[in-house]
Amino acid sequence: MSTLRDPVGPKDRKVYIRRRLFVLLGLVAVIAVVVLVFLKPGSSGGAKDAQQVNVPGDLATSEQADTQGDEKAQGPAACSAGQLKVTPVTDKSSYAEGEIPLLSLSVENTGKEPCAADLGTAGMEFTVTSGDDQVWRSIDCQKNPQSLSVEIEPGKPLESDPITWDRTRSSAETCDITREPVTAGGASYHLRVKAAGVDGDGTAQFILQ
């Protein structure tokens, strides 16, 4: 008697490969769904929204402190012309025969805040006059003028180092020659000054014997 073959037997290799592919695709789909659930906006596992990020409370304060520090490092603002009072100064009001006058100037900040001004020799000018006659100027034969920014506190006048006047008449053409002395014997002279672009207040009168 013939025997019937079992309908359940070995399958073709391609069938097994297809089944495994279907299983793998199913796992990938499940993993993708899980990832989307955990990373969707508003979920606890996702990144914080930009509005939810906490900024350290002292950050703004630190930036403001740095800005203020930079402003201080830059120093005070430049003095305005109306903020400075410049005054001529002589070491004596009368000089004996042959005695050399010492000339200087005083600069005062009349404002309420510190300010900076050029108080170097490049920004100063001393002029000696007699009546309407301009007798001598410090800038006529000045050598190597220099600028010097100086901070001036309110109400604290600064006085320049004195310069000498040799009691002679000057001009830009007399720097390399011997100059004749000016008239003395009780003659009256006036010192005018200028500093940081500001004309001095009045004059300082003195007598040459």
pLDDT tens-place string over residues 9-56: 444 555 555 555 655 555 555 565 444 544 454 444 444 443 444 434
Pick the CATH number of 81-208 from 1.20.1250.20, 1.10.3720.10, 2.60.40.10, 3.40.50.300: 2.60.40.10
DSSP one-letter code for 78: B
pLDDT tens-place string over residues 160-181: 999 999 999 999 898 989 998 9
Element of type H or E holding 107: strand 102-109
Residues 89, 103: Cα–Cα separation, whole Å: 6
Cut 0.85: pTM above it = no
